[in-house]
Structure 1
């Protein structure tokens, strides 16, 4: 049974990494090869399946994570990140630093991918941790939870947008309705989770190389205007492109240019160039100093990218092994509420495959025939699928490894922190979706 194979492969991976202390990159590839053999993928095709999975995952994330890490390190080594963190502390105070991180993450995360927003905000989180001497998860976990919620629940992120197209739902209405669920649910979990005893027992250190160790004097740091402008530049470019696309601004030359500079890699590349000048020659620092910051950031990212790529290989083996087709066939005959069915299939696929995109696309295909005669609002069904796709993020999810590596956690601690919060977000999201459908029916919308 394919699901048994998935379960055993996860257990083997945990044993390899926790008991035998095998490197994550090697352990993921080894388990991926084993699953491929068990699922009947021809041996001569296995290297291609692994390479395709790594290529797809790294192709999507390397430019974003690599450039984002360089921007973050330049911000940190120039004192800009400390300037922003200091102002956050002045405005909010140490007691409200979590609220500040949640608000920042939600505002940025509405239009930006989890990975992009994460690498932009995390240098500020690292600096706040260093300045306040707080637990890394006390500051960083609220940020990650808020970003996960925005990315998984709402368009214009790729999963919800793809499902909206399948159900012929309004992207604008889906976003509007979704905010009423995502904001309260995400904020509640973001502020609750760091306070749970099993999370407070973890005290990870900041990974070496991702942030400088120097503490700057006030006159050594760039001004708040420059610091904030550079930090927000990719947000403005990416969000502007997303808003223009949602508004249907046309398909001419200007729109092509907006889409170009609003793509995550180009926006981050432009930001890096501005950061190099603004926090280099403009401040009297040589280009060699700024280049050294970029080099150190790239070196620190090498193992993180390898592990994320291997996670993509594992995910691709599960997809090519026919597990998604098995789940789709097994759930075709279920006669339950379309909302619950769509959520459940997305959650099962997420657990089995690790890919939220595959989960939402497959789940929407199964639920689509039920939509016509059900009377369910298509926007509500989009949110149901999207909520299900965040459940139980674990070792077959490349995002899990990014979370683990950036917060310097063991595999078991990452499961305790991330797998639990993603599951609770999914369950509370389903509850919110069911209530939303009742409200819309009562209002006859």
Structure 2
């Protein structure tokens, strides 16, 4: 019965979002209360449970998302992102411009949210396509692939960061494995798929096709001489990854050599925590992208303030999604999930991917799919005696959460309008691309699971 109630609750959530058009935040809140009552939770425990889920989720991730948005905005407003893109294009040459876009999008995708990356890169990539006289989508698909993969697999992005915390996975190892998985996934779903996409939707690759690019953002264009250098720009964008990687490597060395903990290792562990990493990264960007370039501190802080306003609703959604997850756990649904798969031979990694994929296809939000999956899978790994690689479980959940983007996903419409595509062309390109990211991701995750 609890599983049936949960299924009905998810259907109500989908109905409220897709049919009633109620905002995701309100829909999640309503369904959280309804599920808590339907699952028989004591009335005096429902509100504390919802508050616990909300606070627990934002307590460990709110600062990360806020500082991540500030970091991306500071890099963009200083012209650092443009410098990275144009420098790589020059280094790669026009014949390999597609790979320049892949590398650029991957570098920036680590520091930027998916939508922010699109807003930043689309005008630049469009100008690149015009300069070398190739179809906009020929560069656009690899660009969106890189942004989607980094969003799904690599901290400090919302999905992998939140579910790493929920599963209790080492976020440094999630990042390390995520990079290993991301590289082949980007190649398969990006440059390789583009070759087939040209046959599936040839009209989408019309050289003259243009999208409503100017509707996405008023992107400031810089003279190259007025932008920060490539080295400092790339270093600032990659600093969160470098710092987390350094902390993880030192921790692994400590464990490998069986060294006892001391002040040095405790300090390294502290600065390697995501919140500390993003705080230090923003401070670095304030200097390299602002103060060092003679910008007034008031202008720098104005950029920071605007960036946080832009992600306010995302943070709210994350918190209420955490409430739904907590209701599922405290309502006892996990006990039934665990009982069903007790003694089952199905891999928890494959199970997490499958659940996340089904929820994603049904309701559109990758973040909601990931968090809902965490609420269902977490009790399984806690109560059933299974040996599972937690970082790979995080990546499997992330891979499932980007499955088959279609009309209930905001990203579907952003891509459609950005590249001036018809509905059929968008399904033949973007929807298949996201499906490839999800399927290729789980295949590479399962292969890596056999090795590590």
Normalising by structure 1, we get a TM-score of 0.71
Aligned residue in 2 for 1:167: none
Partners of 1:181 and 1:272 in 2: how far apart?
27
CA distance in 1, matches of 2:104, 2:117: 11
2-structure distance, mates of 1:288, 1:51 = 36
Q: Which residue of 2 aligns with 1:267?
A: 277
Relative to structure 1, is the Cα distance of residues 66 and 390 closer, same or farther in structure 2, using a 3 angstrom cutoff?
closer
Q: 1:24-60, CA deviations, whole angstroms, 9 ceiling, x for partnerless residues?
A: 2111111111111111122222221111111122122
In terms of mean alpha carbon deviation, does 87-96 or 347-356 score higher? 347-356
List per-residue Cα deviations over 1:235-255 (Å, max 9, x = no partner): 222211111111116521112
Q: 1:20: Cα distance to partner?
A: 2.2
Residue 8 (structure 1) aligns with: 8
Paired with 2:235 and 2:29, the residues of 1 have a C-alpha distance of 41
Counterpart for residue 57 of structure 1: 57
Decide whether the 8 Å contact of 2:117 with 2:147 is kept in 1.
no
Gap change, CA 1:39 and 1:75, over 3 Å in 2:
same
**Partners in 1 of 2:343 and 2:313 — Cα distance?**
44
Change (3 A) 1:282 1:131: same
- What's the CA shift for 1:73? 0.8
1:223 — aligned with what?
229
1:307 offset after TM fit, Å? 1.5
Unaligned runs of 5+ in 1: 110-116, 165-170, 372-377, 396-402, 441-445
Counterpart pick for 1:290 among 267, 279, 300: 300
2: CA distance, partners of 1:180 / 1:12: 38
* Residue number in structure 1 paired with 2:401: 393
Cα separation, 2, equivalents of 1:267 and 1:407: 33
RMSD between aligned residues? 4.7
- Sort the Cα spacing of 1:47 and 1:119 in 2 relative to 1 into closer, same or farther, 3 A: farther
Q: Contact conserved, 1:102 with 1:143, CA < 8 A, in 2? A: no
Q: Distance in 2 between matches of 1:206 and 1:6?
A: 42
Extract unaligned runs of 5+ from structure 2: 127-135, 206-210, 360-368, 404-408, 417-425
Contact 1:39 1:321 in 2 (8 A): yes
Change beyond 3 A, Cα 1:349–1:15: closer
CA distance change for structure 1 residues 105 and 241 in 2, over 3 Å: closer, same or farther? Answer: farther
Q: How many residues align?
A: 398
**How far does the alpha carbon of each residue in 1:130-172 deviate from its partner, in whole angstroms, 9 at most, with x for none?**
21235676523333225534679x9xx94899679xxxxxx99
Which residue does 2:131 correspond to in 1?
none
DSSP-derived class of the 1:247 partner? helix
* Equivalent residue number for residue 129 of structure 2: none
- TM-score, length basis structure 2: 0.70
Matched, 1:428 2:447: no
Matched, 1:254 2:264: yes
Does the alignment pair 1:303 with 2:303?
A: no
Cα displacement (A) at 1:70: 0.7
**Pairing 1:33-44 to 2, within 5 Å after superposition:** 33-44=33-44
Deviation at 1:74, TM superposition (A): 1.0
Residues 78 and 222 in structure 1, CA contact (< 8 A), matched pair in contact too = yes
Whole-Å separation in 1 of the counterparts to 2:81 and 2:108: 16
- Does the 8 Å CA contact 1:97/1:139 hold for their aligned counterparts? no
